[in-house]
Amino acid sequence: MINELLPSESAMYNALVQRDSRSEGVFFVGVKTTGIFCRPTCSARKPRRENVEFFQRASDALHAGYRPCKRCSPLDHGHAPPQWVRQLHARLDADPTARLADSDLRALGVMPTRARAYFKQHYGMTFHAYARARRLGLALREIRNGKSPDRVGATTGYESLSGFRDAFARVFGQPVGRGCEINVLLADWIDTPLGAMLAIASDDGLCLLEYVDRRGIEKQITTLRRRVNATVVPGSNAHLSRIREELKAYFDGRSLAFRTPIVAPGSDFQQLVWNELRRIKPGETRTYAQLAKAVGRPGAHRAVGRANGDNRIALVIPCHRIIASDGALGGYGGKVWRKQWLLNHEASVTSSPAPSRTRSRTASVRSA
């Protein structure tokens, strides 16, 4: 049944055939024969009328079991950074030591107030604070590699050694000379078909992977920082690069395996639950009762549920594979519509006969 807020089915199908740009944002179309959903202007071959159905929101299509089209990326709107943000990232990637003033932003066609508001909302800090954190993260890495603080300060964009030392102490809470003693976690932004994710890693492995709109993500980061006594700064390392590649393979359906080393500090009970979660194969689910029994605590459904909710490494520790005893999806920090999509996606991939399909390995969670 078509939502009364949508145009008629014939009008939407005509707009789809004509790729009418005026229909962008008005509706999405699900293609029954392929199981994907698209924007009305998608350049893919247009399906027959009897093979499509229409949705007001992308989430409605996901709830109906459709996966997003790779060609027209119907979920990008509101999730992927806009072009001007990607431009700023590229500028910092090219020269992490750059000190971009407001005049530099204007020269790039970006209003400073816009950059400040966007980075504050999505990264928890202004653009200038973000760029400064990247510079200091780079400085700390070089100090750990044996370079002198004086030389590092001069090569990471600071005009004076005193300015570098003051900035370093404010961010890390330690003087430059004690840089080798500071524990730092690197944070990176990863776009996925279901929205942007924040990934945080140490030198030993991945510590956090969550959707940026997850309720309580700030508390998760605070808990992580407290447990490992570390400062979080923007940056990347081998573990973050690896999880980025594995996430792409996962969402593309090429592989459901995650082999990035993880560091998941928690209580002994949480460790038991998280290890057991990793034993659940893609395409399968368990109930809270089954999980409680598997960890030797039958009847401790609520405690298991809390440990499930305390998981900071989504997908890799697959808490989305836990459902209620009556088959309902239950809660999910990353939002229930994502949980439904993930379960449908994994069921689809694991049911495929293609030899390239692989399943997630079972591995113990490393505690810190």
* pLDDT tops 70 at residue 181: no
For the beta sheet containing 206-211, the strands, ordered from the edge strand earlier in sequence to the opposite edge, are: 206-211, 195-201, 184-192, 231-234
Point out which residues pair with 44 in neighbouring strands.
Answer: none
Any catalytic annotation for residue 207?
Answer: no
Domains annotated on the chain, with CATH: 9-68 (3.40.10.10), 83-181 (1.10.10.60), 185-252 (3.30.160), 268-350 (1.10.10.10)
pLDDT at residue 254 in the model: 93
Its pTM stands at 0.60
Instruction: Give the number of C-alpha atoms closer than 13 A to the C-alpha of residue 123, restricted to the C-beta side.
Output: 25
Confidence band of 195 (pLDDT split at 50, 70, 90)? confident
pLDDT at residue 215 in the model: 76
* pLDDT tops 90 at residue 167: no
Characterize the bridge pairing of strands 195-201 and 184-192. antiparallel
Q: How far is Cα 273 from Cα 296, in angstroms, rounded to an integer? A: 10
pLDDT digit string (tens) for 306-351? 999 899 999 999 999 999 888 888 778 888 888 988 998 999 898 8
Active-site hit among 38, 69, 207, 319: 319
Are the C-beta atoms of residues 40 and 19 closer than 8 Å to each other? yes
| Distant-in-sequence, close-in-space partners of 182: CB < 8 Å, separation ≥ 6 | 140, 172, 174, 231
Q: How far is Cα 49 from Cα 69, in angstroms, rounded to an integer? A: 18
* pLDDT tops 80 at residue 138: no
Least confident among 41-45, 148-152, 259-263:
148-152
Q: How far is Cα 299 from Cα 287, in angstroms, rounded to an integer? A: 12
HEC string of 196-246 equals: EEEEEECCCCEEEEEECCCCCHHHHHHHHHHHHCCEEEECCCHHHHHHHHH
pLDDT digit string (tens) for 200-229? 999 899 999 998 777 778 788 888 888 888
pLDDT at residue 67 in the model: 77
